[in-house]
Structure 1
C-alpha cells in the first residue's frame, strides 16, 4: 500500500517565497547608473555649480565674460567681497590716458611758470637800468636823449667838446671857431656816394667816428637816425652814436643811447653790443650795481656772443667790477 507524502507548505506559499528570493537577489546586485540619477535636472545643476566654482579659482574677480555674478536680481545669493578685476577694459584705458594727459598738463604749467618768472626778472632788471643815474635812481625813465639845437650841434662840432660847458667857455669857444687844421682834416674825410643814400649817411658818420672826430660823428649820426629811423642800419647808427659819446668821455649820454638801441629790438645786429657798452658806461660812471646788472643780462641773453665775438670785451668789463654771485 502506497502512501502519498504531502508537503507542509501550500503552493501559494512556495510561490511567495520564490518571489522574495528574486527580489533579494535584485536588491543586492549592482544598480545601473541611469537608476542612480533619477533626477537629471538636479545633477545638471550640481555640475553647473561645480563649474562656476572652478571658474572663480581660475578667473578671480567675478568677470562677467566667464560666468554670471553670484548676486541675482532677487538677492538670493551673495558675491564674494574684496575682489578686483584683473582684465583691462575700455574704461581703464581711458582713465590711463587721462592720467597721462594730466601729467603732461602739470609739466607744461610748471614750464610756463618758470618762463613767466624769468621774464619778470628781466623786466625788473630793465626797470633798474631805465632809472636816472643823475638822480641816484638809475637812468632816466625816458630813454630819448635830448636833441641838441642847430647852434649847440655846430658849437660842439667846432670845438670838439661838449655843448653843455659853462657860459663863459661856450662864448669863448663860439668866438674862437674851429681851427683851420681841424676843418682841413674833416674835409679830407669823403662821404660815400652809392645807390643807398641812407647807408651813405651812416657810413660817413662811421668814418668821422673812426677818425676820432667824435662831435662831428655825433652830429652826422643823429641826422641819420632822425632821417632814417626804420633803415636796417638804424641799430648800427644808435649803437655808434652811443660809442661816440662814450669815447668822448660822456658816459651818461652814451648810456641813454645804448639802452635805447637795446630796447628797440633785442634781436637786432647791434643790440647785444649796446647792452655790453651799457655796462661799460655804468663802470665809467662808477655805478657798480647797474654795471653788474647789465653784465648779467648780457651773459644770460647772449651766451653765444659772450663766448664768441664779444668775449674779450665782456671778460674785460667783468674784471673791472666785483659783482655779487
Structure 2
C-alpha cells in the first residue's frame, strides 16, 4: 500500500509539474500578445510620421534633389554603419549662391550710382532752366524771385540786371525807297514771279531782302522748276553778304536734292567757295574733286574760270 500510494503521489506531483509548466507557458503567451500588438502600432505610427516628414520636406524643398541638404529621414533603414565624410554639395551650393548674390549686389549698386548721377545732372539742368535767362554764362534770377545758383535768396547783393538789347535801328528811308523801286513781275506764273523778284533784289545788292524773298519762295514752292535756281541763289545771297556759314547748307541741300538739276553743279562749286571762306581746306578740296568728277563738262566749259580760280586758292593733296 505504501508503494502504491507513493506511485500515485508521484504521478500526482508529475502532473502538477506539467500543469505548472503549461500555466507558465500560457502566462507567457498571454503577456507577449500585448507586446506584439504594441510593436505593430509603433511601427505604423513611425511609418506615418516618416511619410509626413517626407511630405513636409517636399513642400519646403520642392524637387527632392538635395540641392540644399539631404533630409534626415529617408524612409529607408540604415544598413551601412560605416562612418563617411560629410558631403560638401550643400556648402558648395551655398557659396555659389552667395557669390551670385554679391555679384548682383555690385551690379545693382553700380546701376544705382549711374541713375543717381543722371538724375542729379537732369535736376541741375532743370534748375538752370527755371532760373531764367543767362548772363555771362550764369543764370540770372527771374522776376518771380528764383535766385541764381550760388546766390542766397534775400541776399543784400542784388542780382545783376540783364543788359537790354539795343533797339532796332529805324530803316533807312533811302533804302526803303530803292527797294520799293524794284518792281515785281506780273506773269501767268505767280511762283516764278516771286523767284524773279528775289533775283532782282539780289542783283541790286539788297542781300537781306533777297534772302527773305527767296526763302519764302523755297518754302512755298519746293517742287517748282525754279526751286533749284532759288536754293542756289539763296546760298549766293548769303555768300555775297559775307555769311558763308549760312550759305553752305543751302548749296549742299541743292546739290543733294537732285544732282542732275540745272544748278546742282553750280551749288557744289559754290560750296567749295564757301568752305574756302571758312578756312576749311579739307572740305573745300573734297567739293572741288567731286565737282570735277561729277560735272566734267561744266569744269571744262561754263564754270571753268570759277573752278580754276577756286583751285588756285587752296592746296589739295
Q: Give the TM-score taking structure 2 as reference length.
A: 0.48
Q: Give the TM-score taking structure 1 as reference length.
A: 0.47
